[in-house]
Structure 1
Amino acid sequence: MDLKNITIGQYLKNTASTFSNDTAIVFQKEEKKLTWKMVDELSDEYAKGLMALGLEKGDHMAIWSTNKVEWILCFLAASKIGVCTITVNINYRLEEVERLLEQSDAKALVFMDGFRDINYIEIVNEIIGRAKKGINKTGRQLKHFIHFGDKECENAIELSQVIETASETTDKQFEHRMMELDTHDVINIQFTSGTTSSPKGVMLTHHNLINNSCYTGQLLKLNNKDSLCLAVPFFHCFGLSAGILMCIGSATAMVLVECYRPVEVMKAITNLKCTALHGVPTMFIRILEHEEFNKYDFSTLRTGLVAGAACNEDTIREIINKLGMKEVQIGYGQTESSPGCTQTLADDPIEKRVSTVGKPLPYVEMKIVDIHTGKECPRGASGELCTKGYHVMKGYYKNEILTKRAIDREGWLHTGDVAFVDEQGYYHICGRLKDTIIRGGENISPREIEECLLMHPCVKDAQVYGVPEKHYGEEIAASIQLERGCHLEIEEIRRFLNDKLARYKIPKYIEFCKKYPITSSGKIQKYVLKEKMIKRLKKVSFS
């Protein structure tokens, strides 16, 4: 199959034309069921409403919501009229959301009532209030706050009102806007944490996302008779590309789980007879170890994708044997590569399926380079994994310096991961050059947490790092130095971080140090702290 040179709007319309009456989305919680024709027509109305609101090609619109039908329709509507979507983590709190909206230059924000103990409406009102007082620039820059849900938000317009204004945009105006778009336009920016405290905005195009999602679905052999249980969050590239867009390309029904809870996933699979399930390793482990596992029927499951973090061999074998996912595949990638780079196949030898991340996707180039010389390594030798092709991002938003560091002059994306390729051409991931923590599929910047810790008047210095953990792949640990004469309890530290960071970023393991190990040049040896912490965790339980 050749690369597709179309836009996301055209991508959807092709599927809606061929599979118009087939099921596209099922959201059992809200008793919603949409066909591909309905998804296309509804997203057209949403798009016209956004145009009537004044959103132009190239504007940015943030979406802050769980896995709901509205998320999908808003994303597709924006994509149809050239409005670039900014995905917002549902766990974010005031300072994180405010920083993201400002950094992304968002002109509109679509948001729901809230998630768990986070009240989105209160946060939006606070952002607007702070802008009026001159505390931030976000509220002045944002022109439109669009709300949907059961509650009311006096500072926002309702999404239903936006749809009602669709008639103000003519079919001719809408069609003209769609014709203006190019497959290489940036249509989505995903902010991902790396080793720096400030998240980087990964710019992805129609071309990036369409082709990557299409090949992912093709290798999984999905079609319009399949249904994918989709609990992977849409605000991650995994959920957007290998979830929503992959289903559009293969005409596979999306069975939505609003946010990951093992019981909700198991119910969806059993009740709606799903044939596929995506997830990071943590998701699968929590299902396999759940006390109610045997109450549910997984007999319809056939395939799915395990990605987002390293997965051990035993877990893969349990997914195959206990969940019955005989054709499950392992994927490797990162947001900067849309996200897929490699994927195992259902007919690969079992030892390769459980111990490698497979071979490159079609039209994807891969190589391993020596970390010191930059020269390509022979097979079997470890080095930095680099990739090149249609899937590589356009760059980091408003950050040419970091873009040039990530993508070299020849177009190779340097992933920062250490890997090797074996004699049969299968790739093995060994670790990371950088110290980014990946907890349950979430990329977490240690520096961001360190900076928050340093805001406490009693904290002199802080070093944050990841330690191995069975369920999440990694957990966050912190080694803290206190100011002379200060005393803090571990729970005081956690309470201090509670309003500054999403819950998943708060360190699970915390220790207080009088001094850090340092090199002869005075640099802190974080890896020594990490090794000592791992040894301690094997002996004792931390608070």
Structure 2
Amino acid sequence: MTRPEPRAFGPSADLNPATAVARNARHQGDSVVVRYAGGDLTYARLDDKAARLASVLRAGGVAPGDRVAYLGLNSSAFLVTMLAVFRLGAVFVPVNFRLAEPELRGVLGGSGAMVIVCEEGHRTSVEAVRGETELGRFLLIDDDPEVPAASEAPGWEPWAPLIADAPPSGEPVPQHADDPAILMFTSGTSGTPKGVVLTHGNAWWNSVNVELRLDTRRGDVTYASAPLFHIGALNTFVLRTLVRGGTVVVPRAFDPQACLDDLVTHRVNSMFGVPQMFTALARVPGVFDSDLSALRSVVVAGAPVSPSLIRLYADHGVLLQQAWGLTETAPFATHLPAEHTLDKAGSAGIPMPYTQVRVVDAGTNEPLKPHEPGEIVARGPNVTVGYWNNPKATAAAFDSEGWFHSGDIGYFDEDGFLYIVDRLKDMIISGGENVYPAEVERILSAMPGVVDVAVVGVADEQWGETVAAVVTAADDAQITLDDVREYAAHHLARYKLPRRLKLVRPMPRNASGKLDKAVIRRLATEEN
């Protein structure tokens, strides 16, 4: 018997999410896919609107590989634009709506985007930088009651009449594993933001990892209140929910009380958030008396998670599952399974099924033994192919064996669970001892009266560097350096204890919501 030739299903499979949404529109067109205050959308309406917008974009010259930017808060328009871009085989560029004009100039100019879809609240910022970009077409969202458009906006085309008059674009362009899907820019805390190229294969393999590790199901309801311009919010649950025929609840932004109301009303099954969101949610009166029984996949990432926060939720039947990754890993390389939420509290979990993760010596690149901290590296089909128009940065990020070097410090325990220690560049060397700010922050975040905390190193004549804590205290709290040192001494070695304390309100954060360590370092040197 002649053995048949193997078929290369992987490279030839159509991984385009727009294709899946079109399929859902045919078979469950009346199902609501987007719950949004500005108007819900069924699968049929979402697919039709995306197909018509794709025709509008194509008529303006958008072709496969071209970049189309989106600037605005979370909304149904974000999803419509993304799917329209995917339909054409073009590349979607979600822009951080918190960027200052110089940062916006770098992202829009660096992406080479030729079209931007924008909300009214950000139109003037785009106009201020448009001359230093390749943008040639400007579409203004004018059919969202949550963000009314200006009656006069010279140079901008209201998108509603364009979409209404355009014919649907036909079938989406098939997209394969190596085809670029999303160009997502990093926050740029260490310099000029880098554009991370994420392919359809990157997004698809992350979804496979998520489905194998988390309890996700067809028809799930997911809650998308974290900014969708971040890969964590977009690709943990939202993209896969669209593909699998579920429902996405899209608030404009995160509000703790509104979040609780939505979780209960819509019987939400899955949610991604950063630790600060779950800390704020826990403070809502009656939160743990509410019916949260539908929640079964709750991923928290983006910053170290306090074990006390994990235990608080677990005591009330909600298991927060920590994960680790970056934009470059689309987003997750590790995940803590729900059954280990308590016995491995504080861990970022185990490697995803189709992702390899190591901890290596930053100097020799050799793997380290359990409990030895080193740089975390990752390799797998969910890892970016590189940085947009930046071969130097790409070469610096990948070694000769294809491992992506994250710049994060961590260690594996004897059971193979990863613990995140800190960023390599943020490590403090005090008196020859390594101090990892994230470890100190994790301890101090559980201190009574502490609302927010950041730890940095400041110059010291005796020790070279010393530990400084920058703290936002509760309104009724009186916190002194002695208080901080006394509390931390129960958990940390003495050389890790803060020697300086700076009280601030609010805590400085950058456009991505992360601690702005440059500003914090400056504040740490000032007297209260």
- Give the share of equivalent positions with the same residue, in percent: 25
Secondary structure, in 3 states, of the residue corresponding to 2:69?
strand
Partner of 2:19: 10
Q: How does 1:183-198 map to 2 (within 5 A)?
A: 183-194=177-188, 196-198=190-192
Q: Distance in 2 between matches of 1:292 and 1:246?
A: 31
Select which of 298, 302, 322 maps to 2:296.
Answer: 302
TM-score using structure 1 length: 0.75
Contact 2:17 2:243 in 1 (8 A): no
Change (3 A) 1:21 1:320: farther
Secondary structure, in 3 states, of the residue corresponding to 1:355?
coil
Partner of 2:357: 366
TM-score using structure 2 length: 0.77
Q: Distance in 2 between matches of 1:170 and 1:19?
A: 20
Contact 1:216 1:246 in 2 (8 A): no
Select which of 211, 217, 221 maps to 1:227.
Answer: 221
Q: Distance in 2 between matches of 1:3 and 1:356?
A: 33
Change (3 A) 1:472 1:343: farther
Select which of 362, 365, 378 maps to 2:369.
Answer: 378
Change (3 A) 1:8 1:222: same
Kindly state the Cα deviation for residue 194 of structure 1 after the two structures are TM-superposed: 4.7
Change (3 A) 1:318 1:18: farther
Gap regions ≥5 residues in structure 1 = 115-119, 132-136, 437-464, 481-493, 512-525
Change (3 A) 1:247 1:504: closer
Select which of 328, 339, 358 maps to 1:336.
Answer: 328
Matched, 1:26 2:35: yes
Matched, 1:244 2:244: no
Partner of 2:410: 419
Partner of 2:392: 401
Matched, 1:106 2:108: no
Partner of 2:136: 143
Q: How does 1:76-115 map to 2 (within 5 A)?
A: 76-114=83-121
Amino acid at match of 2:149: K
Partner of 1:212: 206
Q: Distance in 2 between matches of 1:377 and 1:316?
A: 28
Secondary structure, in 3 states, of the residue corresponding to 1:375?
coil
Change (3 A) 1:472 1:202: farther
Contact 2:456 2:517 in 1 (8 A): yes
Contact 2:256 2:281 in 1 (8 A): yes
Per-residue CA distance 1:353-412 (angstroms, 9 max, x = gap) = x23111111211111111221111123322111111101101111110110111112111
Matched, 1:346 2:338: yes
Change (3 A) 1:219 1:186: same
Contact 1:214 1:246 in 2 (8 A): no
Per-residue CA distance 1:449-469 (angstroms, 9 max, x = gap) = xxxxxxxxxxxxxxxx99947
Partner of 2:264: 270
Change (3 A) 1:55 1:103: same
Kindly state the Cα deviation for residue 211 of structure 1 after the two structures are TM-superposed: 1.9
Partner of 1:483: none
Quote the RMSD (CA, aligned, Å).
Answer: 3.3
Contact 2:91 2:180 in 1 (8 A): yes
Structure 1 range deviating more: 54-63 or 214-223: 214-223
Amino acid at match of 1:104: S
Secondary structure, in 3 states, of the residue corresponding to 1:178?
coil
Kindly state the Cα deviation for residue 343 of structure 1 after the two structures are TM-superposed: 0.9
Alignment coverage as a number of residue pairs: 449
Contact 2:106 2:192 in 1 (8 A): no
Partner of 1:280: 274
Q: Distance in 2 between matches of 1:435 and 1:86?
A: 29
Change (3 A) 1:346 1:296: closer
Change (3 A) 1:474 1:7: farther
Gap regions ≥5 residues in structure 2 = 1-8, 143-147, 428-436, 460-503
